[in-house]
Amino acid sequence: MHGFLTSVRCPKMIRSAAIGRPGKLLLFNLSRKYSSSSSIASLPQTLNLEGESIDLSAQVLSILSHRGWQKNPSLKKLAPFITPFHVCNLFDLNLDANTALGFFDWIGRRPGYKHDVKSYSSLLTLLIRARFFGIAEKIRIQMIKSCGSVEEMLFVLDVARRMNRDGDHKFKLTIRSYNFLLQSLSRFLMTDEMKVVYLELLNDKIPPNIYTFNTMINGYCKVGNVVEAELYLSKMVQASLNPDKFTYASLILGYCRQKNLNRASEIFELMQQKGCPRSEGAYDNLIHGFCQAGRIDEAFRLFHQMPDDKCHPTVRTYTVLILALYRSGRRLEGFDLFREMGEKGCDPNVYTYTDLIKSLCKENKLEDAHKMFNEISEKGLVPSVATYNALIDGYCKKGKVEVAFEILNTMESNRYSPDTITYNELIYGLCKAKKVHKAMALFSKMLERGMSPSLITYNSLIDGQCKEGHLDSAFRLLNLMTANCLHADKYTYSPLIDTLCKEGRLEEAYALFDSLAEKGLRANEVIYTTLIDGYCKVGKVDVAHSLLDKMIDEDCSPNSHTYNALIDGLCKEKKMHEASLLLEKMVKEGLEPTVFTYTSLIDELLKESQSHQAQRVFEQMLSLGLQPDVCTYTVFIRTYCSQGKLQEAEDMMAKMNNKGVLPDLVTYTALIDGYGNLGLIGRAFVVLKQMVDAGCKPLIGTYSVILKHFLDDRRVRERNNNIVLDSAANLTAIDISDVWKTLDTETILKLLEKMVEHGCTPSIDTYDTLIAGFCKEGRLEVARELVHDMSERGLLPNEDIYTALVGCCCKLEMYVEASTLLGNMVGCGHLPQLEFYKTLVCGLYDRGNIGKAKEVFCSLLQCDYNYDEVAWKILIDGLLKKGLADECSELLDIMEEKGCQPNYQTYSMLIEGLPDGSDGAIK
């Protein structure tokens, strides 16, 4: 067995096992003391030749203390490792102000380095202390302009206020600094803060100028608050300042945001009456307003009118029109305008490309989006972080996370740092792909880089944990989110309620739903529908009906999905008459039945052998203009196959293809089963090939069906080669649930040969599914033979195969073999699920193999796992739940010694779980 396990190693395993997690260069003895400062893992340290820790900032200070430091080769070697964090530390070390300015400029010009607001703030403090007020004013403005997020803006606002309040009178905020503050706040739509800053400006007895008023007006217009904008317009007039073209352009924008295009057009006409020349900005805002409303032809009339006012279309003008054409399905016209744009001397910029890439990704045209992305470099332009994000988001939403990570690698190799949006998109993609442990690892990297997770980050992770059934971890994330002053919304609670329903914990789901009002939240139609569906699934349709009544009483309008859940529930309970009445009620309330509504009715009618009635419902659906989807066709095909009516099933399949509806896994499996039931095993293999050729991956259920019929066929032939296929009825057929229990290696290899005969060459996906089937039944020996067979075909195990093998070893309590496999898996660059480590560590402790348990735990700490999740799933859900408190305490000590620090809330949970008198008190 050991030889087999080591034989599936990956070439990447040659790398040293001593290589730890990036950035973990020191061991920290925390003694269970929790630090609330930034992540210990990201403390800036390097190692000298003797392995002693040396502070990077201190090294730089030593170099800067000598003349000619710019030419020092040591500084150039350190430069790639210097971050804004180090710069802040450096400026706290009593550095000379002139040297600080010189170094600040020098490092700022290094490739891949970018100052952040904190490094600006540190320099500013140093300059004010040295009374360099002139240059400090310039640095303050640069700091304000460098803000890249709301969090950074709030930090800068706090710094500016503190310096304005506590600093030297010579460094009070000027009208210029106030205006830049207002502009930055406007950029992030922070209108409440804008109002406060405006009042502070007045309190400082600084008269607002036209730039101040225009910024205030523009800020409120951006969020569509024209009422407030008009108030500042009146203040402007009272100050004897005349509105200019920027003022009018902002008002046009505001009314467009309110979707009041008539008033926006009136303002546009008013400009001419007031003798104010129309600007490109005024045109762009009105054109954008018309495009957003779908009035593209009116937008183009304005576009053609621009030369009359001596205005020239800008990049934004073209971009807005091109996007509008794309969104309305007029892609050829949009493409022509895109080419015309360049011919007219208005070259598309990176923002144009970024918007077009976003649009193409929304239409699921990823290949076109990628080509557009490649064109950016061909045109000599440089993609921005937003451009990379647009493409990453497209691939993540399509479920192609591997490609998204390839784009991330390209992004980082081009020395662009991912931002919060990048991480949120990748975390969403990983959670969607049911790889929440990898999403949590990415969450850790986010924290290490000093980024603040947003509500979107936590909602994605909570949803991901719920999708994988880790409800405890989802609730722990909710607690972490609350501790970080983020308020959960209805999208946070929706997956929690949904998972509780799916697990049959309806009382808990209802209690959580009931608590929303106390939290100041109103349940939306998604949460109501989730609960209604949950009660219908367990046959409690009466409770579901009462929830529908409650929903209506709470002014939350049911949608088609709500009624569909109830109709489906009634159908499952054989209450077809009530289902029909509910369908009528749904129509009366102005809600159009969906394909799902009719499919639920058709499915139940077919199960009740009421095929004529089902056909009438099908025709009624068609008469309403609703096109059947794959589920609708499949319920007919499945019924025909179960009745042995294969010709009717094939006819229905042909109808599907003619309508452009692609068969899915269930469709193909039903057809394979239908042919198998008639003993037509050859035809079943033909369908399997069609399935694979169509890019539809057969899963365990499909192979269960084909293997059952393959076994039955072999038994018939072995019984008597001269007996016709109809005699199969004389033999007892194998139960489909016993297939993986009874199948031997010889038969599975024969199946693979048969697949090759029918042109269906076994792929990595084939082996992946077959190995998973055997591992599920604990049949490791057969799985091992399949791994050997695939290796002879030149195929290496993928992540899913490793996962199945490790799971099987854990199930069979073969812990040493499981640990070897896990090591191989990590060596191939895969990140195993933490559940395996939990089973493995607990199992090794149960067997008394303490040394191996600690070794496995130490090895996982070298991987990129989130330390909170390690503590949750291994220490709390593993050791503590098994009553192994002392062992838990030992492993917690190891985490601390290695600087693997969980969150304060996680520490609290751990300490509460440890017995009294342990040394685990948090100090």
CA distance 430 to 799: 14
Q: Is the pLDDT of residue 692 over 60?
A: yes
Would you place residue 168 in the very low, low, confident or very high pLDDT band (cuts 50, 70, 90)?
low
Which of 364-378, 439-453, 579-593, 891-905 is least confident?
Answer: 579-593
Residue in the structure block whose two tokens are 């042919």:
675
Q: Does domain 249-341 have CATH number 1.25.40.10?
A: yes
- At residue 173, the 3 state secondary structure works out as coil
Average confidence (pLDDT) over 173-197? 95
Measure the N-to-C terminal CA separation of the chain; round to a whole number of Å.
Answer: 48
CA distances from 211 to 232, 444, 824 (A): 12, 43, 63
Q: What is the pLDDT of residues 552-593, one digit of tens each?
A: 999 998 998 999 999 999 988 888 888 888 888 888 888 888
Q: Kindly report, residue by residue over 445-503, the tens digit of the pLDDT.
A: 998 887 889 999 999 999 999 999 999 999 999 999 988 888 999 999 999 999 999 99
pLDDT at 23 > cutoff 70: no
Q: How far apart are CA 222 and CA 182, in angstroms?
A: 13
pLDDT value for 719:
66
Q: Is the pLDDT score of 907 beyond 90?
A: no
- DSSP code at position 172: P
pLDDT band at 778 (very low <50, low <70, confident <90, very high): very high
Q: How far apart are CA 144 and CA 186, in angstroms?
A: 12
* For residue 50, pLDDT beyond 70: no
The bridge status of strand 45-47 relative to strand 53-55 is antiparallel
| Average pLDDT, rounded, for the chain | 87
| DSSP output for 618-669 | HHHHHHTTPPP-HHHHHHHHHHHHHTT-HHHHHHHHHHHHHTTPPP-HHHHH
pLDDT of residue 167: 64
- Position 666 scores a pLDDT of 94
d(CA 884, CA 876): 10
Tens digits of residue pLDDT in 880-895: 999 999 999 999 999 9
Per-residue pLDDT, averaged over 251-275, amounts to: 93
- Judged against a pLDDT cut of 70, whether residue 55 lies above it is answered with yes
Query: The whole model's pTM is what?
Result: 0.75
Tokens representing 372 are 């557009």
- Whether the pLDDT of residue 408 is over 60: the answer is yes
Q: How far is Cα 232 from Cα 219, in angstroms, rounded to an integer?
A: 11
277-330 pLDDT tens trace: 999 999 999 999 999 999 999 999 999 999 999 999 999 999 999 989 988 888
